[in-house]
Amino acid sequence: MLDYRFLPQMLLAQEVVQVHLRINGLLALLAGILILAIPRLLNYIMAIYLIVIAIIDLFGLRA
């Protein structure tokens, strides 16, 4: 049975769950899926991926 006198303390004691996704990982996953789906676009997908990764690294746009 839940004791409602302690409910505010229980709510304050809960931890926040944080999920960190990396931009590089998401881009790599997207590029891989696109290459599997449309192999003819391999050169374009790789070129765009490399340019985006370079911009992220140069300007420190890490998520």
Q: What is the DSSP track for 5-47?
A: GGHHHHHHHPPPP-----HHHHHHHHHHHHHHH-GGGHHHHHH
Whole-model pTM: value is 0.55
In the predicted structure, residue 33 carries a pLDDT above the cut 80? yes
Please report where in the chains the tokens 């746009």 appear, as a residue.
61
Q: How far apart are CA 49 and CA 31, in angstroms?
A: 7
Q: What is the pLDDT of residue 18?
A: 66
Q: How far apart are the first and last CA of the chain?
A: 42
Q: What is the pLDDT of residue 37?
A: 92
